[in-house]
Amino acid sequence: MSPEINRNILIAVDASENSRRAVEYVGNLLGDIKGFKATLLHVIREPEEDEFPDPGEKDKWYQEHRRHVNRMLAEYRGMLMEAGFADADVSARSSLRYCPSMAECILAEMDSLEYATLVVGRRGLSLKEEFLFGSISGKIVRIARNCAVWVVE
């Protein structure tokens, strides 16, 4: 394999079914090929300062959410290893960020980690949902630069 090609794959995930499909896709496609490294990324959106009535409740929410995220990332990691990735070639990270746009947050994480390929699942929003709330994968495809984006449906 040509050494100058960046073979680090970043998979942005959440607990949705489409994220699971994205992880499966990467596992099926690259699991048997040596030289690829995969990182699972979950960005936790920082809640508004008074979404919770007091700091204690916010902390409780965060601890609970963090437990769910860790469990989810461990499960996805297991899926990649089962598909053939070596233990050392799969990592996972999650970060709590202020995110006006999740797409921009994911791309910022990607830049800081120097990955060249980003994989995301697509939720398959209805027209009205996309209109009201926007689409993360749609925006990533629109604004990503200097990288390849795989959108898995």
Partner 1 sequence: MTGQFSQEVLQKLVAHWVPGQRQNQPFRVYRDTSNFFSIEYGDIVILNDTPYLIRHNTKEGRFGLDDEVKYWVKRAIDLATGEAKIVKLVFHEKFIARIGDISFECFRSPLKEARILNLVGSRPNFMHGISVQDDQGNMVRILDVIGGITLADHVWDLASRIDHETYFYQYFPEILDNYIECAEAIRFLHQAGEKHGDIRRDHIIVDRDSGVYRWIDFDYNFRHRENMFGYDLFGLGNVLMFLVGMGDLLVPRLKIDKPDIFARLSDNDTNIVFNNRVANLIKIYPYIPEDLNRILMHFSKSANVFYDQAAELLDDLYEFKSDFFKKEITNES
Which of 33, 134, 143, 153 is close enough to bind partner 1 by CB under 8 A? Answer: 134
| Least Å from the CB of residue 80 to partner 1 | 26
Binding of partner 1 by 5 (CB under 8 A): no
Within positions 84 to 113, which residues make up the interface with partner 1, using CB under 8 A?
100-103
Does position 153 interact with partner 1 (CB under 8 A)? The reply is no
Going from the C-alpha of 58 to that of each of 15, 48, 71, 119, the distances in angstroms are: 20, 10, 20, 31
Q: CA 47, CA 87: separation in Å to the nearest integer?
A: 33
4 contacts partner 1 (rule: CB under 8 A)? no
How far CA 10 is from CA of 17, 23, 40, 56, 141, in Å, comes to 18, 10, 6, 34, 15
Give me the least distance between CB of 53 and partner 1, in Å please.
4
- HSE-CB at 97 with a 13 A cutoff on CA atoms is 17
Q: Least Å distance between CB 137 and partner 1?
A: 9
Residues 40-79 that bind partner 1 (CB under 8 A): 45, 47-51, 53
- For 146, other C-beta atoms within 10 Å of its C-beta total 7
Residues in contact with partner 1 by CB under 8 A are 45, 47-51, 53, 100-103, 127-136, 138-139
